[in-house]
């Protein structure tokens, strides 16, 4: 048994380097690939490093057991899949080798020349370098088409982002397959063109340089500067703390001077960083729980400095053309735990940002003003999108990509989907559409609850529901077939989006495929759930699912007629094939009736447990009264019933409970 998908066939992986990040990369591979019986070797010439690495990895697995992240069989299988060895001969038979050794081009070159002598021509070579171009690392490898950088971020088993950096000779198909491979094993890969430092590290190290320069200028203490940076940029931890946690002083000290030579003269290693590195000293950062006080005047100056440099850095990276704006916006937020730069600039106002960066570049002559900011300023802001589109075999494939929130829907995303469909409506080369989402866990986790929490009156609720419904109605009535490819679970608004499509296809064997969980939060579906689900699978079965908020597996969904089929292998390819056959008339799928369909059914008694009786009453009303109407009338009725939920105490209780205690905590409804 092996992993085999997207032309990536793997039964054995070797990770070279048992230092800071290699073991964590191996741990992630073990978690994702041990179910396929893939073996993961960790190779190092140091027995001590290997012993420490194994101890650290097994300790993390044990912690996962204690927290419930892993079950015992899974943890055991992960441990069994891992092998820690000094013997380079164990690299033999590997289909993928990833090097995570010291950031030294000669060491990396030596490693890969040795690896090349032990592996065949089909083995994929990856380097987890944080700075060096693949052309430098793989300069002596004979078959450079299989060589590229896969840059992980700390901690590698948790941080989702991986920069995929091909060299000049890397095979394009391999790059695309690796992007899919990493997505399929739970990472968020972005493609970056070859450049020293790639896309993210110049931003992180530039922020660190900004912090150290503020220290040198006596603009604050280490603790004050850290605190101001967190407030200015929404960081998880300040730059000095991040350097301490990652052991990043040596890499940053080396990287800044090199970036000054190869990327932008503004980058330069501060003397104090050189001293800290030489003396192996950490920064004097705040301890856990320590409160750092800073004067408002000092804080204001530091915040402006950090925001100006951050906006200048991210605009500069985009200006180089090495990365897509949506990739960079997303990857900064996920990898650095920071506010997404271009969305952040838009929220402040591009005119203000333009002036700040102009001033910053004037005061820092080595920092060339990013020309792309001129365009953004002229256009009134950055153009961002949470969807990706491509046309494959005359089928428009629309992919929702919001991994931080498991692809949760808001009105902006729905309008982007509508816009993508509208742009290809009259394109005779596009015969049908597939709507899917990024990742393997969720198609769409539901609607954005921040948006729902902002609703105050029944009228606002009605209007919000109607706005959602308008986009889904557009999809339902689109003149070309629209197939929903459910790559993971569809909750709430995601399920309602799926039901507006012509047909649905799901990844095979999903224990949880769909659910309408709204009653757990004290309201009813508002984007068609109470009207389309009954018309699709029958009123009483739909009512039971809607009122209980229970999960439905892909197997049950197929039996109910909710999905057309379960995909055996490649979900998107099968969805495209289905969409084409529907368009060509080769396959007929059941459509949702738009007429009245009530046949005298009455609500069944079901156990709703702790759920609100008041919301259940509204739900029953929406389902059974809506069935007596046409679909158009029923949807309007659902919107009114959704608005009614805002008159209840239980909707406020449900949303507040979710925000405070999370999705698993039961709300204490009062049935009013």
Do residue 489 and residue 393 come from a single domain?
yes
| Residue after which a domain boundary falls, among 345, 378, 411 | 378
Residue 92 inside a domain? The answer is: yes
Number of other CB atoms surrounding residue 325 within 10 Å: 17
DSSP letter assigned to residue 523 = -
CA 638 to chain centre: 32
CATH number at residue 150: 3.40.50.720
Q: Tell me the C-alpha distance between 666 and 612, whole Å.
A: 11
Helix (H, G, I), strand (E, B) or coil at 108: helix
For 440-463, the three-class secondary structure string (H helix, E strand, C coil) is CCEEECCECHHHHHCCCCHHHHHH
- Residues 6 or more apart whose Cβ sits within 8 Å of residue 152: 21, 24, 25, 100, 128, 159, 161, 162
Residue 485 inside a domain? The answer is: yes
Residue 522 inside a domain? The answer is: yes
Phi, psi of 489 (to 5 degrees): -70, 150
Q: Is 95 a catalytic residue?
A: no
Q: Which secondary-structure segment (H or E) carries 485?
A: strand 482-486
CATH number at residue 461: 3.90.226.10
Do residue 330 and residue 393 come from a single domain?
no
**What burial class does residue 672 get, using C-beta atoms within 10 Å of its C-beta: 0-12 exposed, 13-18 middle, 19+ buried?**
exposed
Number of alpha helices (DSSP H) and beta strands (DSSP E) in the chain? 27, 19
Token representation of residue 123: 């083995």
Identify the sign of the CA torsion 318, 324, 328, 329. positive
Residue 279: the pLDDT is 95
| Residue after which a domain boundary falls, among 360, 378, 396 | 378
DSSP letter assigned to residue 427 = -
* Total structural domains within the chain: 3
**Residues of the domain holding 656:** 387-661
Residue 367: the pLDDT is 98
Do residue 65 and residue 36 come from a single domain?
yes
Phi, psi of 82 (to 5 degrees): -95, 140
Residue 454: the pLDDT is 84
Token representation of residue 249: 């002083």
Residue 539 inside a domain? The answer is: yes
3: preceding bond cis by omega (within 30 degrees) = no
Cα angle, residue 375 at apex, residues 373 and 378 outer, rounded to 5°: 110
**Which listed residue (224, 518, 574, 638) is catalytic?**
518
CATH number at residue 294: 1.10.1040.50
Do residue 361 and residue 416 come from a single domain?
no
pLDDT digits (tens, 9 = 90+) for 449-466: 777 888 899 999 999 999
pLDDT digits (tens, 9 = 90+) for 58-95: 999 999 999 999 999 999 999 999 999 999 999 999 99
Q: Is 518 a catalytic residue?
A: yes
**Which listed residue (496, 574, 577, 638) is catalytic?**
496
Do residue 107 and residue 157 come from a single domain?
yes
Do residue 167 and residue 293 come from a single domain?
no
The b/e string for 631-662 (b: 16+ C-beta within 10 A; e otherwise) is beebbbbbbbbbbbbbebebbebbbebbeeee
Q: How many residues does the chain have?
A: 672
Q: Which secondary-structure segment (H or E) carries 12?
A: strand 12-16
Token representation of residue 352: 């203000």
- Residues 6 or more apart whose Cβ sits within 8 Å of residue 662: none
Residue 528: the pLDDT is 97
Token representation of residue 562: 């909710």
Is there a contact between 106 and 118 (Cβ–Cβ < 8 Å)?
no
Residue 591 inside a domain? The answer is: yes
Cα angle, residue 470 at apex, residues 484 and 545 outer, rounded to 5°: 55
Is there a contact between 627 and 634 (Cβ–Cβ < 8 Å)?
yes
Bridge pairing between strands 442-444 and 489-491:
parallel
Residue 342: the pLDDT is 98
Q: Tell me the C-alpha distance between 215 and 178, whole Å.
A: 41
Number of other CB atoms surrounding residue 307 within 10 Å: 23
Q: How far is CA 176 from CA 128, 173, 194, 269, 286, in A?
A: 18, 5, 16, 36, 43
Residue 672 inside a domain? The answer is: no
Identify the sign of the CA torsion 305, 307, 308, 314. positive
Q: Tell me the C-alpha distance between 49 and 72, whole Å.
A: 27
Residue 452: the pLDDT is 80
CA 450 to chain centre: 18
Do residue 224 and residue 178 come from a single domain?
no
Is there a contact between 520 and 540 (Cβ–Cβ < 8 Å)?
no
Do residue 371 and residue 492 come from a single domain?
no
Number of other CB atoms surrounding residue 572 within 10 Å: 19
Strands annotated E in 285-411: 387-392, 395-400
**What burial class does residue 365 get, using C-beta atoms within 10 Å of its C-beta: 0-12 exposed, 13-18 middle, 19+ buried?**
exposed
Do residue 225 and residue 261 come from a single domain?
yes
- Look up the pTM and report it: 0.94
Do residue 367 and residue 394 come from a single domain?
no
Residue 1: the pLDDT is 67
Phi, psi of 325 (to 5 degrees): -60, -40
Alpha helices in 68-171 (DSSP H): 72-81, 105-118, 134-137
Do residue 37 and residue 160 come from a single domain?
yes
Residue 122 inside a domain? The answer is: yes
Do residue 159 and residue 211 come from a single domain?
no
**Tally of CA atoms within 13 A in the half-sphere of 627 that contains its CB:** 23
Token representation of residue 56: 């650290």
| Residue after which a domain boundary falls, among 323, 351, 378 | 378
Is there a contact between 531 and 495 (Cβ–Cβ < 8 Å)?
no
Alpha helices in 337-446 (DSSP H): 341-348, 350-363, 372-378, 411-423
Residue whose entry in the numeric block shows the structure tokens 């990895």: 57
Residue 196 inside a domain? The answer is: no
Q: Tell me the C-alpha distance between 223 and 50, whole Å.
A: 35
> What residues in the chain have per-residue pLDDT under 70?
1
- Could you tell me which of 158, 24, 40 has the C-alpha nearest to residue 100? 24
Q: How far is CA 587 from CA 305, 519, 578, 581, in A?
A: 61, 36, 8, 6
């Amino acid at each position: 048994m092996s992993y085999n998908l997207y032309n990536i066939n793997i039964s054995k992986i070797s990770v070279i380097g048992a230092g800071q990040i290699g073991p964590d990369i191996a741990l992630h591979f073990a978690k994702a690939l041990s179910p396929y019986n893939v073996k993961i070797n960790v190779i190092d010439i140091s027995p001590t490093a290997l012993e420490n690495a194994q101890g650290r990895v097994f300790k993390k697995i044990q912690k996962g057991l204690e927290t419930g992240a892993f079950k015992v069989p899974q943890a055991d299988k992960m441990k069994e899949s891992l092998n820690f060895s000094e013997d380079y001969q164990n690299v033999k038979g590997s289909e993928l080798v990833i090097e995570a050794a010291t950031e030294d081009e000669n060491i990396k070159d030596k490693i890969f020349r040795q690896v090349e002598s032990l592996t065949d021509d089909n083995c994929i070579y990856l380097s987890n370098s944080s700075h060096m171009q693949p052309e430098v690392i793989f300069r002596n490898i004979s078959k450079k088409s299989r060589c590229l950088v896969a840059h992980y971020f700390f901690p590698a088993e948790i941080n989702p982002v991986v920069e995929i950096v091909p060299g000049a000779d890397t095979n394009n198909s391999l790059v695309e397959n690796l992007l899919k491979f990493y997505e399929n094993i739970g990472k968020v890969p972005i493609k970056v063109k070859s450049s020293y430092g790639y896309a993210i590290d110049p931003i992180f190290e530039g922020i660190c340089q900004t912090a150290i320069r503020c220290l040198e200028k006596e603009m604050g203490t280490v603790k004050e500067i850290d605190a101001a940076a967190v407030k200015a940029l929404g960081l998880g931890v300040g730059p000095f703390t991040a350097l301490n946690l990652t052991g990043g002083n040596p890499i940053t000290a080396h990287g800044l001077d090199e970036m000054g030579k190869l990327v932008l003269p503004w980058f330069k290693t501060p003397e104090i960083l050189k001293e800290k590195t030489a003396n192996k000293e950490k920064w004097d950062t705040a301890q856990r729980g320590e409160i750092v006080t800073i004067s408002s005047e000092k804080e204001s100056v530091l915040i402006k400095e950090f925001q100006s440099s951050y906006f200048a850095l991210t605009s500069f990276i985009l200006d180089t053309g090495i990365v897509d704006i949506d990739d960079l916006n997303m990857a900064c937020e996920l990898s650095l735990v920071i506010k997404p730069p271009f969305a952040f600039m838009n929220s402040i106002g591009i005119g203000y940002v333009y002036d700040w960066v102009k001033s910053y570049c004037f005061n820092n002559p080595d920092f060339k003003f990013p020309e792309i900011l001129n365009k953004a300023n002229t256009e009134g802001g950055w153009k961002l999108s949470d969807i990706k589109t491509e046309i494959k075999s005359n089928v428009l494939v629309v992919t929702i990509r919001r991994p931080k929130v498991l692809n949760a829907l808001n009105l902006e995303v729905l309008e982007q989907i509508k816009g993508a469909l509208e742009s290809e409506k009259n394109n005779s080369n596009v015969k049908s559409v597939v709507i899917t989402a990024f990742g393997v866990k969720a198609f769409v986790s539901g609607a954005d609850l921040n948006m729902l929490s902002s609703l105050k009156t029944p009228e606002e609720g009605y209007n919000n529901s109607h706005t959602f419904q308008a986009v889904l109605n557009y999809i339902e009535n689109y003149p070309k077939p629209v197939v929903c490819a459910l790559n993971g679970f569809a909750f709430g608004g995601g399920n309602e989006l799926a039901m507006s499509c012509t047909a649905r296809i799901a990844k095979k064997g999903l224990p949880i495929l769909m659910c309408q969980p709204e009653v757990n939060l004290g309201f009813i579906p508002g984007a068609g759930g109470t009207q389309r689900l009954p018309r699709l699978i029958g009123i009483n079965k739909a009512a039971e699912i809607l009122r209980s908020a229970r999960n439905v597996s892909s197997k049950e969904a197929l039996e109910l007629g909710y999905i057309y089929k379960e995909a055996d292998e490649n979900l998107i390819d099968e969805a495209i094939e289905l969409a084409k056959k529907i368009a060509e008339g080769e396959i007929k799928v059941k459509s949702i009736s738009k007429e009245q369909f009530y046949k005298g059914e009455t609500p069944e008694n079901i156990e709703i447990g702790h759920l609100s009786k008041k919301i259940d009453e509204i739900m029953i009303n929406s389902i059974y009264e809506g069935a007596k109407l046409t679909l158009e009338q029923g949807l309007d009725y659902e919107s009114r019933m959704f608005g009614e939920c805002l008159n209840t105490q239980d909707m406020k209780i449900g949303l507040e409970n979710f925000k405070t205690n999370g999705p698993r905590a039961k709300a204490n409804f009062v049935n009013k």
